[in-house]
Amino acid sequence: MSILLVGLYSSVDALAYTPVLPPAWEGDVGQVRHLYLFPDDGMVPSADESDNPFGAAVAAVLLGDLSTGWQDPNADPPETYGEPGSGAWDLGKGPAGEIRVTVPIGNVSSVTGFTGYNVDIQVNVVGYGVIVELPSLSAEGYSLSNLTQTDSLAYGSGFDIWNNRTWTALVTNVMADQITFIIAADSNWGSVIDTIEIYARDADAQSPLKTVMDTPVAWLQSFGIGPEAGNDWDARDVYDSDSDGMLNWQEYVAGTKPRNSQSLLKIVKIRAEIGELPYLEWIGGTSGPSAPYIIESTSSLSDPDWQPVGTRARIEGTNDWSGGQALTNAIQFFQVIAPRDTL
């Protein structure tokens, strides 16, 4: 495949690189960045530029069939970002020909209550654009949601064409403090890679710990609930995710499951006869506050005077309560209150 680079440097000094803009969230809390220019033939290259408070990225170059390996910078088109000494890797054919970059993205996976990272990414590759093809992107062990792929001219003309290929995506439920990105050469025509730039951030790093309704964001995340386009955590908190009539924040306070329409705070059985002890059964749960359920009673709904008549420690599923005094009124009403722990 070395023939692909013959004569490609005759007029490259006059060519200017057109950079890809960084993501809109550049500089946000949790954002990391690594840039690889491959100035030498090291098979375990170090990043030429890094901005990552969580640690150093680790890269590895693997060569596939028909690879010619590293290309000398003197024969390489103009250095990206004005960096001197940029080389290029002829990876040969994929998937054996690939560059793997393991990027630290956080440091809280071992913290109690951790429910996974949701990671925004933007990855840009500068690759040769004649005869060979641009590479593909994957994340080891994870799928790429909301994936976009954009190609644009990086620099060159005629047979001196080098292109940008830029991906954006969301990687959800990442359970480790790092992600391994795989830039794989085209399986039929191979790929020649000049530059790799990776941006990533924990999309939830700037989220509040709780919503305005005092629902822990981690609780919403634990049920796979998160902001959608055009809204935020507060908006999802007042949404009924399982269409059972209870908003998500109400499900939290009740201790029920917001993704299960059969899990909602509801009285399912009542026995109330004069001279007998009252008895109630209701659906509840233990996923929210730990404060006991409160049972209240009144003899009138037109002018109710609800009074506490008992409590019940929460259990998952069917809860029950039996009163301590026999009923004396022909008409008596009961309700179950799910208080917050702070009440």
One domain, residues 61 and 122:
yes
CATH at 38: 2.60.120
One domain, residues 83 and 23:
yes
Q: Is the Cβ–Cβ distance between 127 and 193 less than 8 Å?
A: yes
One domain, residues 274 and 245:
no
Q: Alpha-carbon distance 251 to 256, whole Å? A: 5
**Which one, of 169, 145, 152, 127, lies nearest residue 21 by Cα?**
152
pLDDT at 206: 67
One domain, residues 70 and 178:
yes
Contacts 24+ apart (CB under 8 A), 339-342: 339/253, 339/289, 339/291, 339/292, 339/293, 339/294, 340/214, 340/253, 340/289, 340/291, 341/289, 341/290, 341/291
CA torsion through residues 8, 12, 15, 16, sign: positive
Asked if residue 209 is part of any domain, the answer here is no
pLDDT at 224: 82
One domain, residues 15 and 73:
yes
State which residues of the chain have pLDDT below 50: 1-14, 76, 78-84, 343
One domain, residues 80 and 12:
yes
One domain, residues 108 and 135:
yes
pLDDT at 90: 96
pLDDT at 175: 93
CATH at 303: 2.60.40
Q: Write down the H helix ranges in the chain.
A: 217-222, 233-237, 248-254
One domain, residues 171 and 246:
no
**Number of compact structural domains in the chain:** 3
pLDDT at 336: 97
For residue 174, give the amino acid letter.
V
One domain, residues 133 and 55:
yes
Asked if residue 103 is part of any domain, the answer here is yes
pLDDT at 293: 97
What range does the domain containing 7 cover? Answer: 2-202
One domain, residues 140 and 64:
yes
Asked if residue 343 is part of any domain, the answer here is no
Indicate the Cα dihedral angle 310, 314, 320, 324, nearest 10°. -20
pLDDT at 85: 55
**Which one, of 235, 176, 179, 172, lies nearest residue 208 by Cα?**
235
Asked if residue 290 is part of any domain, the answer here is yes
Q: What is the pTM of this model?
A: 0.59
Q: Alpha-carbon distance 317 to 213, whole Å? A: 24
One domain, residues 249 and 276:
no
One domain, residues 190 and 55:
yes
Q: Alpha-carbon distance 99 to 91, whole Å? A: 8
Q: Is the Cβ–Cβ distance between 341 and 289 less than 8 Å?
A: yes
